[in-house]
Chain A
Amino acid sequence: MPVFKTPFNGYSVRFSPFYESRLAVATAQNFGILGNGRVHVIDLASSGPVINELIAFDTADGVYDVAWSESHDSVLVAAVADGSMKVYDTALPPQANPVRSLKEHAREVHGLDYNPTRRDSFLSASWDDSVKLWTLDRPASLRTFREHAYCVYSVAWNPKHADVFASASGDCTVRIWDVREPGSTMIIPGHEHEILSCDWNKYDECLIATASVDKSIKIWDVRNYRVPVSVLNGHGYAVRKIKFSPHRRNLLVSCSYDMTVCLWDFMVEDALVGRYDHHTEFAVGVDLSVLVDGLMASTGWDELVYVWQQGMDPRAA
């Protein structure tokens, strides 16, 4: 399956919601500790295991995450470590990009999520402990959600309720928010270590998964969050990112500092469905295609982006 080499360390990879062969990759120099960043927009060739780069955008600091617009097929947002977000339009020449620069966060922006239902707004999660709500047509954020006591690493919109989202933080909690409410509506003290990622189940709007430095993934039902629905153990180090399948209710994918990408079925006893150890450094970005069932992508600090079909060996040419 095709591989793409990035000059910097990979941080995040996302499938385009409009084109099945297109992806965006966020990268940062020196593991994101210091240096520049670059966003790559890449395309799978129709024949052969080849990935072409369509365009790339440079930033003055590392890029930690990227999100495609749900309303414009050429627009994407990049989360930059200097606390800013850059909006790029791949249809415009490089000198016209970025079309927006949104700078409000005081610290690194670590996570982004574009609202898939309303399609007009997106969220940013930052190490300044806050989450901010944005639309592309406003120069300033619409709202700031400030309750977490430590870095917020990830945000995820609920797939069904357009105003509901979850945020995962290093304060060991996940908070559920409704943008119509002034404060968070639910606090789930999900782990005893930092929580690095969260995602909603795409078929059951009450199920949320959390991934933590404690190496575990937990599935929660927000109607009864005293005990997790399921606990998935198997990663050897902190779990960095998780994503529910858009195609199968019980399936989710995770990547970890143990350098593997894992596939889980949280409803069965032997939950670990597959383990891919193709990365040679920390695996920090993973995504599942909405348009093609079973198409997966991952990136890591080994500066490689893999795109492969579930069940195949990512490295097989």
Chain B
Amino acid sequence: MSMRELVTGGAACAVPGSSSSSSNPLGALANALIGSSSKTQGVLKEIPNATAASPHPQFYSHAADPVAALPGSELDRPFLQSNAQGSDFIRGFRAADANGFADAWEEIQRQPPFDPLAAPAPPIQPTLDGPPQRVLSSFLHSFVDSSRSGVPLHPTPLPLLGLSQGDKQCIRDRSSIMARHIFADRSEEFINAQVNALLSSLEIENDIHARGPMPGRFRELEDYWNESQGVMKPGAHAADGWVTEFSQNRIHHGDPDTWAHSFEQQHGAGGWASEFEQEQAQLTSVDQMRGGNMQSLAAIQQTRMLAHTLSQNGDPKFQNSKFLQFVSKMSRGELIIDDNQVKPASENWATEYQQQYNRGASWADEFAQNEVFRGPDQWANEFGAERLQQESVDDQWVNEFSKLHVDDWAEEFGRQVGEGTLGDGSSDWANSYDEFLNEQIAAKQRSDASRGVYVFSDMNPYVGHPNPLKEGQELFRKGLLSEAVLALEAEVMKNPENAEGWRLLGITHAENDDDQQAIAAMMRAQEADPTNLEVLLALGVSHTNELEQSAALKYLYGWLRHHPKYGTLAPPELADSLYYADVARLFNEAAQMSPEDADVHIVLGVLYNLSREYDKAIASFQTALKLKPNDYSLWNKLGATQANSVQSADAILAYQQALDLKPNYVRAWANMGISYANQGMYEESIRYYVRALAMNPKADNAWQYLRISLSCVSRNDMVEACDSRNLEVLQKEFPL
């Protein structure tokens, strides 16, 4: 497992420990400043606390209280209602000894918090918790840039940046406010879309209402309207198709049996399930649309609603006022953008939406109420299973099916369609629609949680191969990584307990720049062989990449504990409460014990990456490289660490070494690109990304980096090729 994510780390984050970046010695500075101007010295003495500690540090002297003389200062203090001047007040205050306030006031005065010498100000500690990486910087750059090009920003799933909640809040609030200055020419819709794209890329939930715009200053209605028309395009989402299909069959809703029969006649019994599955697949693509397509459901809903409202009324004035209403509602927070969804806080909105979409509405309503929606796969599987058991018994099928209340559902559906409108159920509808959406979100989260489940490719030609492991090893050696993956998958399907097969599969995925699969495979390898050192090390590295310190420590500690030489160093009781310092100490001991063991130095390098002590990490990797100069993945680790400590130029040399040793090391190609991008050489970076992608078009991260670089050099023409993953065009345009 190499350390690609590490590469993305920290290039710009290092704030020097000293508060001044200038190398000027302080003495020279003081001479320059004080020596040059005797006036300065004189002035200095006047500054309270700027001189050496005075025996009785005070905020101000009450005899000549400048504050008291400052008019208006009393206005802020409610207990100063008397029209006395502040100084009088303070004198009176002090005179009244019995007053508890006075004590408190004295207390405050006794504390010398502002005396820099007596109580030195805490050193400026850069409190940016997450690594503010160059990737982030580049991405924000493309966000800012998009104001000029007018190209909508697409959400780009970025690697884990380790942003803290506070960081996220900052990004959310500040980008919302700034976007309204930067994109002044654009419509509110565009601005929201831009900000949403930014936030969803950074996986920042819009759950706390970001600082919206001020109401009552929307003059560019025309633009807004045009813009929103453009936004509508992705609107034909899957649910509609489903509903349409459904409604074609609704004539038979009176009798569940007939309905089922005719449905079956039309689609065939088996076809129904597969069709449903298909629809479900499309439904999940709605989910992807939330992240993958900048418009998000919210935007679609807004614009549809707008379209409807505007089409209902011929009077342009009325249109505008309605429109204004909506926009100002939006801005007043009556429509809440919650988790990238617009939540209707108003009845009107719901009604309007419903009038247009009552079919979808009732569908969603019933669907949610009946809890049919248990997750697409389950439902379909269950259905399929039942189908198998009760083949050809149509009545039973219908019965089974009606247990799921589908007949009720059909009835309900028909009734509502018959009525044409939904009458007063509007808020119910809104609620259940929300429920439905929440379900979807939950389903997505579940799938995120189940990360670590290995996904096999279908249509594997190596299934049935007599010795897929050997074949896989051979392919891996030749550098045909994608082929090697297939062979190794065949191996672990045949022998699920083969730790070596899983391990090799994990390494292949890692080198092929597919982390998710790599981690999943390594976890299976660990299951099969919990003490395999290489597996433990790989897992430690990958969790370091993911910035999951405790998990990383667990595996690295496991490595030490199961190592035949160092196992004695690691007391087993430590495993319960692992602290970074302990683990680092143990590994340092191990390194002293056998300085010739490259592996220990490698682990130390990884550990130092975890604590962001990049200089030490580089030293460790360099030591390891002296012992193992032909380890290409080690060169890659060194490069990644150098990139992290703002030494992108050195990093490129290290990656070059890795590539000399293994020319089709996709990961190193992609890392080269990142390092060039870090240095602002976006053109160069593009060529490397394209090269990496030519070797493995499935490397999603590389596609995203490529997109960022393309937008940084304003190659919007090529962004399209990137989005459609048209490698041919890209390779032609950016040969290496």
Contact = CB atoms under 8 A, between A and B. Distances in A.
Interface of A: 7, 29-36, 38, 53-61, 72-75, 81, 89-101, 107-108, 118, 120-121, 127, 133, 135-139, 141-144, 149-151, 163, 170-172, 178-182, 192-194, 196, 213-215, 237-238, 240, 257, 281-282, 301
Given A60-B125, A150-B214, 5 more contacts: A31-B178, A36-B126, A98-B121, A139-B59, A179-B73
Contacts of B123: 95
A142 B167 CA distance: 30
Contacts of A238: 181-182, 184
B459 interface: no
B121 A142 contact: no
A92 B50 contact: yes
5 tightest CB-CB pairs across the interface, nearest first? A179-B72, A143-B76, A142-B73, A60-B127, A96-B116
A237 B34 CA distance: 44
Given A91-B33, A94-B19, A180-B72, A33 B170 contact: yes
A73 B34 CA distance: 11
A299 to B, nearest CB: 16
Of B30, B44, B50, B163, most A-chain CB atoms within 10 Å: B50
Contact of B70 (A38, A135, A214): A135
Q: How large is the interface on B (under 10, 10 to 19, 20 to 34, 35 or more residues)?
A: 35 or more
Given A7-B21, A91-B33, A108-B174, A138 B59 contact: yes
Given A34-B170, A137-B67, A54 B182 contact: no
Interface of B: 12-13, 15-16, 18-22, 24, 26, 29-30, 32-34, 37, 39-40, 43-44, 46-50, 59-60, 66-67, 70-73, 75-76, 108, 113-114, 116-117, 120-121, 123-128, 132, 136-137, 140-141, 144, 147, 163, 167, 170-171, 173-175, 177-178, 180-182, 184-185, 211, 214, 216-217, 219
A141 B128 contact: no
Nearest to A6: B21
Nearest to A212: B184
Contacts of B214: 149-150, 170-172, 194
23 contacts: A33-B174, A33-B175, A54-B29, A55-B22, A56-B19, A61-B127, A81-B174, A91-B50, A94-B20, A99-B49, A99-B114, A135-B66, A135-B70, A136-B48, A137-B60, A149-B214, A151-B177, A179-B72, A179-B75, A237-B184, A238-B181, A238-B182, A240-B181
A100 to B, nearest CB: 6
A202 B696 CA distance: 65
A51 to B, nearest CB: 12
A59 B124 contact: yes
A73 B43 contact: yes
A196 B181 contact: yes
Nearest to B26: A93
A contact patch SS? loop
B22 A72 contact: no
Contacts of A35: 12-13, 128, 132
A43 to B, nearest CB: 9
Nearest to A101: B121
A29 B73 contact: no
Contacts of A257: 147, 181-182, 184
Contacts of A214: 184
Contacts of B211: 127, 151
A214 B214 CA distance: 14
Contacts of A150: 214
B12 A29 contact: yes
Nearest to B69: A120
B111 to A, nearest CB: 9
B120 A96 contact: yes
A74 B167 CA distance: 33
Nearest to A7: B21
B28 to A, nearest CB: 10
A181 B76 CA distance: 11
Nearest to A90: B33
A90 B459 CA distance: 70
A60 B121 contact: no
Contact of B124 (A58, A133, A142): A58
Contacts of B171: 33-34
B70 A99 contact: no
A57 B20 contact: yes
A143 B177 CA distance: 26
Contact of A91 (B34, B48, B117): B34
Contacts of B40: 73-74, 91
A30 B184 contact: no
B181 A194 contact: yes
B32 A54 contact: yes
A53 B132 CA distance: 25
A192 B175 contact: no
A57 B124 contact: yes
B140 A31 contact: yes
Contacts of B170: 33-34, 61, 81
Given A29-B132, A34-B170, A282-B182, A94 B44 contact: no
A62 B265 CA distance: 67
Nearest to A163: B71
Contact of A93 (B30, B32, B217): B30
Nearest to A141: B76
Contacts of B125: 60
B73 A143 contact: yes
A5 to B, nearest CB: 12
A166 to B, nearest CB: 15
Given A95-B123, A139-B113, A163-B72, A215 B184 contact: yes
B150 to A, nearest CB: 12
A285 B59 CA distance: 33
Contacts of A121: 70
Given A139-B114, A237-B185, A32 B174 contact: yes
A136 to B, nearest CB: 7
